[in-house]
Structure 1
Amino acid sequence: MTTKLYYLSAYKKTFEASILKKDQDKQGSYIVLDQTAFYPTGGGQPSDTGVLNDVPVTSVEEVEGEIRHYLNRSLPRDVHSISGEINWTRRFDHMQQHAGQHILSAAFAELFGFETVGFHLGTDEVTIDLAIDELTNEKADQAVELANHIISENRSIETKWVSEEEAASYPLRKELSVSGDIRLVIIPDFDYNGCGGTHPKKTLEVQGISIIGWEKQRKNIRVRFVCGNRIVKHFKKQNDVLQQLAQLLNAPLHTLPEASRHLLSKQKQSDKEIVELKQEILTYEARDLFNQSETVSNRRFVFRSFEDRTIQEMQQVARMIVNKEKNVVVFLVSESGEKLQLVIACSQDLENMNANDLMKELLVEVDGRGGGNQMLAQGGGRKNVDVEYLVERVKKWIV
């Protein structure tokens, strides 16, 4: 069994140890020590990183009762003892975030009876899943206010190993997920919780808690928050974004919402005008195409081949022609590399012609897919044949 120095003191940064085992598994080469200050992944908290004899430790996992230290390269065979040093910045950040999670979860439970059913400590933010359908701004603000009040009181954060019988005498916030020896993390008169993570000794070391958002996650509400040094980083990141927006919009920070609304309103108007202009251009294009049409078997035949034209625009042009003109068949093609897109339209007076029937025949030629109805059909496929061949197929069909 490896002695877990991180439970004796979460503040221990360096240590000496003997190597009990060297091996490898699917994750890579690892060693097992007689004692370690490296916290393994567990309980929603990521593992510590650091170095063993100056070799980087990439992760630490507890597998089959062993605490395995995975290294980015193997140690020499003749090495039997090591000097270890954890990444203290990462460890203390995890201590702040994990303790902050206890405090915020306890605040939601204390104020509203909301139960925390999930926890994840990420690289940039921490999340808890509350067993509720919705969360209001007012309740979120109240929970943060209470949590920060507990932090400011600099209450002690105690850890204690107890038996199951002893644990039953404490007002635990949630049911225990382990049996046997149980580690309790206690903030007296506020929070009692079974937990195997690392925490600071005092709540003031958490520094503060800030909720940065929440969203629906299945049947729960997932709350995203940051604690301690992450608040400063998060504020700086947000402030940098706001400063950039202020420069782009040429507006002071406090007027950004109004400036953004004004810009969006202008954009919507511009988009509307663009759509109207594009519609007008397509109308002229449809008229021009019809004027250049040829006669095939007493019917007007409109054909045009484009490059990289959207099928939606071709549909609009074809529809404009057949809705306005009589006795007309439209065949439009867009070539894009080795791909073809086809649109066929027939005016409504051509009752004996079905655009979808012809499209099916052409799609066989190009190994394509598509569909439509009697008046309008579209599809796409590979450029297996020349466009001129397809044009002749359409003309023959018209005849």
Structure 2
Amino acid sequence: MTAGRIRIDEVIKDGEKIIAVSRTSPFYPDGKGGQLGDRGKIGPANVLKVKEKNGYILHYLDAHLEPGDYECEIDPARRKDIACQHTAQHILSAAFLKVADLETVSFHMGERVSTIDLNAPFVLEDVLEEAEDLANEVVRSCERVEILEIEKEEAEKMNLRKLPNVEGKVRVVKIGDFDVTACGGFHVENTGEIGLIKIVDTEKVKKVLTRIYFTAGDRALKDYREKDKLLKSLSRVLTTSTKELLKRAENLLEEVKEKSAKLDKLSEKYAEILSKVAEPEKVGKYYLYHFSGTPEEMKYLPKFLADRKDTIVLLEHPDRIEIVSNWIDCRKIFEKLKDQLNVEGGSSQKRAVITANSASRIVEKLREILKWF
């Protein structure tokens, strides 16, 4: 742990939250510059979260403290990981700019994976690979990472990726001759400390941006181990090698589709037969059919029953009840059940779906309602 001192000016109790407030703090706040915050201890209390608000630093603690001066400790392993992820982000953002002239418009660091948003609705696979390769070349080159405090006029001459709108001196992070950008966060001293940068996923956001998910350092190694274990486990389950895993999965999916299509046809035929032999319950002027069974067979029962005059079909699933009819407004049925039984669900004119584990009270109440329709 990195040791230091801190003065707590006020301690606030907000429900179960204990918040220690100070004007200055050695703890870096969560979310500042897209970065994760520090963790550690203040006196005997563990720091769970750190926020910056209205010029004050808020420390969320797991134990109560009185205002005063305290020894504090900052978790160095977490700070090292944060520095690793943040420098990796600078390298990856610069790599996309050099490879495809794609700019990073935002950055977010997560506990497991981090993201950058690029100013393009999609990024080609070969561009992703080229940027990743270039980023890892910079890592292997062990470039020096310099933190410079310079005047804004001098910063304007350094060809920064983005010049911040600040007064006075600018904090600049310089990664060899590869990248120069303004930043207030933590960084490694040498790119070799990162070890590896790996893009793990992408997605389109806001219709005009591409979000790049990445990991670096020990996180990347952990991610590789987890995926390697998963592949080996799948290989054992599917009795094939990892090289043949995709082909094996595709073959199995094709088999499942064929069998599913056959089951669908059989279920439809069974539902047709069941509809011919099933005996309805006469309730008022309506004929109530009540079924419980597999989803496949119940899927087709309304097809063969709903058009029969004054027929109502009730389908009992493990987690829901369906009421289907072409002869009564199911919306009115649902509203009455909702008012009288406080059930949840939704409805249309010809179908109502009710969230329920048992149909007994629904059927009983439905009988009462139908007698008055």
Matches within 5 A, 1:107-256: 107-218=95-206, 219-256=208-245
Segments of 4+ moved more than 3 angstroms:
25-28, 66-70, 292-295, 301-314, 328-337, 339-345, 359-372, 377-386
**CA contact under 8 A between 2:151 and 2:169: conserved in structure 1?**
yes
Instruction: Write the distance in 2 (CA, Å) between the matches of 1:142 and 1:263.
Output: 34
1:75 aligns with 2:60: no
Tell me the alpha carbon deviations over residues 58-106 of structure 1, each in whole angstroms, 9 at most, x when there is no partner: 22233333334333223346x53x3322111111110100000000101
Q: CA deviation at 1:364?
A: 8.3
Residue 68 to residue 236, structure 1, CA distance change in 2 (3 Å) = same
Residue 287 to residue 142, structure 1, CA distance change in 2 (3 Å) = same
Residue 94 to residue 156, structure 1, CA distance change in 2 (3 Å) = same
Question: What is the match of residue 37 of structure 2?
Answer: 47
1:66 aligns with 2:53: no
Instruction: Write the distance in 2 (CA, Å) between the matches of 1:15 and 1:54.
Output: 13
Q: CA deviation at 1:314?
A: 3.7
Q: CA deviation at 1:363?
A: 7.1
Which ranges of structure 2 fall in alignment gaps of 5 or more residues?
340-345, 355-361
Instruction: Write the distance in 1 (CA, Å) between the matches of 2:113 and 2:332.
Output: 57
Question: What is the match of residue 332 of structure 1?
Answer: 313
Matched residue SS, 1:149: helix
Question: What is the match of residue 287 of structure 1?
Answer: 276
**CA contact under 8 A between 2:116 and 2:212: conserved in structure 1?**
yes
Q: CA deviation at 1:199?
A: 0.4
**Aligned-partner residue type, residue 304 of structure 2:** V
Residue 294 to residue 73, structure 1, CA distance change in 2 (3 Å) = closer
Instruction: Write the distance in 1 (CA, Å) between the matches of 2:231 and 2:138.
Output: 31
Which ranges of structure 1 fall in alignment gaps of 5 or more residues?
1-12, 296-300, 323-327, 346-354, 395-399
**CA contact under 8 A between 1:108 and 1:114: conserved in structure 2?**
yes
Residue 102 to residue 25, structure 1, CA distance change in 2 (3 Å) = farther
Matches within 5 A, 1:257-336: 257-289=246-278, 304-307=289-292, 312-318=299-305, 330-334=311-315
Residue 65 to residue 366, structure 1, CA distance change in 2 (3 Å) = closer
Matched residue SS, 1:253: coil
Say which of 365, 387, 396 aligns to 2:367: 387
Q: CA deviation at 1:306?
A: 3.3
Residue 90 to residue 18, structure 1, CA distance change in 2 (3 Å) = closer
**Aligned-partner residue type, residue 172 of structure 1:** L
Tell me the alpha carbon deviations over residues 121-180 of structure 1, each in whole angstroms, 9 at most, x when there is no partner: 101111000001211111111111111111111111001112222211111001314333
Question: What is the match of residue 348 of structure 1?
Answer: none
**CA contact under 8 A between 1:101 and 1:128: conserved in structure 2?**
yes
**CA contact under 8 A between 2:333 and 2:369: conserved in structure 1?**
no
**CA contact under 8 A between 1:14 and 1:83: conserved in structure 2?**
no
Question: What is the match of residue 8 of structure 1?
Answer: none
Residue 46 to residue 293, structure 1, CA distance change in 2 (3 Å) = closer
Length-normalised TM-score, structure 2: 0.82
**CA contact under 8 A between 1:285 and 1:317: conserved in structure 2?**
no
Instruction: Write the distance in 2 (CA, Å) between the matches of 1:209 and 1:305.
Output: 59
Q: CA deviation at 1:252?
A: 1.2
Alpha-carbon RMSD? 3.4
**CA contact under 8 A between 2:23 and 2:56: conserved in structure 1?**
no
Tell me the alpha carbon deviations over residues 208-237 of structure 1, each in whole angstroms, 9 at most, x when there is no partner: 111111110111000011111111100011
Instruction: Write the distance in 1 (CA, Å) between the matches of 2:58 and 2:280.
Output: 78
Residue 130 to residue 380, structure 1, CA distance change in 2 (3 Å) = closer
Tell me the alpha carbon deviations over residues 278-327 of structure 1, each in whole angstroms, 9 at most, x when there is no partner: 111112112224xx6899xxxxx9653335897744412315x75xxxxx
Residue 110 to residue 384, structure 1, CA distance change in 2 (3 Å) = same
Instruction: Write the distance in 2 (CA, Å) between the matches of 1:103 and 1:126.
Output: 13
Matched residue SS, 2:136: helix
Length-normalised TM-score, structure 1: 0.77
Q: Percent identity?
A: 26
